[in-house]
Amino acid sequence: AQSVTQLGSHVSVSEGALVLLRCNYSSSVPPYLFWYVQYPNQGLQLLLKYTTGATLVKGINGFEAEFKKSETSFHLTKPSAHMSDAAEYFCAVSESGSARQLTFGSGTQLTVLP
Amino acid sequence: EPEVTQTPSHQVTQMGQEVILRCVPISNHLYFYWYRQILGQKVEFLVSFYNNEISEKSEIFDDQFSVERPDGSNFTLKIRSTKLEDSAMYFCASRVVRSEQYFGPGTRLTVT
């Protein structure tokens, strides 16, 4: 069984500051890991994903995440927050396999302060 | 850029009524999914569908739920007799082999 824990349901940063959103996962097999962003009243948009290969993955809008197997983590970072980054961010895990359902974390609401 | 579409964007129904939520996945995609998100809670997997049959389903997906791909484009979720606790945002997603899932904008279902 898979699970995802996102530490911090709400994170506030100042515009221009580092964004760090934490995600830890549990999986019995090598995981596929994803970060999705949800803007108000919109669907889920993929930010980035890790499947195999390079453990530091870059996504859209300047975000990146690093897969650390030893720490079972996949934290999301962005060097400099922008007001438009304010949204809810979901970490998700899936196992390789034919169906590959996603298991989501509970989400982190990011607020960017002027 | 191709996208997953869902209709309606908001559906209000009375308890006990049947509802059908519709999705049009991206045209060359082969795997289809429904998820739901109760207000303030995490996104939960309901069901996956491939090759015209259910691949996996969660405990939430009981006998009140069914899915269908009636033609080459639509993918529907039916709730036979809605309950208050079915009120949620329902997301459809689709993908091809070895790709991520692409999500639609969701249908907000309100059961009164």
A34, A43, A49 member nearest B104 (Cβ): A43
Is A98's Cβ below 8 Å from some Cβ in B?
yes
- pLDDT at position B85 is 96
> What per-residue confidence (pLDDT) applies to B40?
85
CA B64 to the chain's CA centroid = 13
- Cβ of residue B25 closer than 8 Å to a chain A Cβ: no
Given a cut of 90, is residue A77 above it in pLDDT?
A: yes
Tell whether A46 is within 8 A of chain B (Cβ). yes
Higher pLDDT, A8 or A28: A8
Question: Token pair 């100042």 is at which residue?
Answer: A14
A105 in contact with B at a CB cutoff of 8 Å? yes
B84 phi/psi in degrees, rounded to 5 = -55, -40
Closest residue of chain A to B48, computed from CA coordinates: A99
pLDDT at residue A96 in the model: 66
pLDDT digits (tens, 9 = 90+) for B25-70: 999 999 999 999 999 888 999 999 999 999 999 999 999 999 999 8
| A window 7-36, beta carbon within 8 A of B | 34, 36
Q: Does B55 reach chain A within 8 Å, measured CB to CB?
A: yes
Averaged pLDDT for residues A71-87: 96
Which of A33, A44, A88, A91 to substitute to test the interface with B, most B CBs within 10 Å?
A44
Output the six-digit token pair for B10: 């908001």
Read off the pLDDT of residues A26-39 as tens digits, 9 standing for 90 and up: 987 888 999 999 99
**C-alpha distances in angstroms, A62 versus A19, A47, A59?**
11, 9, 6
pLDDT reported for residue B36: 96
Task: Tell me the average pLDDT across B20-27.
Answer: 96
- How far apart CA B2 and CA B47 sit, in angstroms, is 23
Cross-chain Cβ contact A106/B41 below 8 Å: yes
The 10s digit of each residue's pLDDT in B64-108 is: 999 999 887 899 999 999 999 999 999 999 998 878 899 999 999
Phi-psi region of A44 (alpha: psi -120 to 50; beta: other; left: phi over 0): beta
Contact yes or no for A102 and B102 at CB 8 A: no
A85-94 pLDDT, tens per residue?
999 999 999 8
Average the pLDDT over each of A73-82, A100-109, B15-24 and give the range with the smallest value: A100-109
CB contact under 8 A, A102 and B45: yes
The angle subtended at Cα A30 by Cα A24 and Cα A36, nearest 5°, is 50
Our CA-based measurement puts residue B81 at a distance from the nearest CA of chain A, in whole angstroms, of 26
Q: What is the pLDDT of residue A24?
A: 97
Q: What is the pLDDT of residue A97?
A: 58
B98 contact residues in A (CB cutoff 8 A): 51
Partner A contacted by B3 (CB < 8 A): no
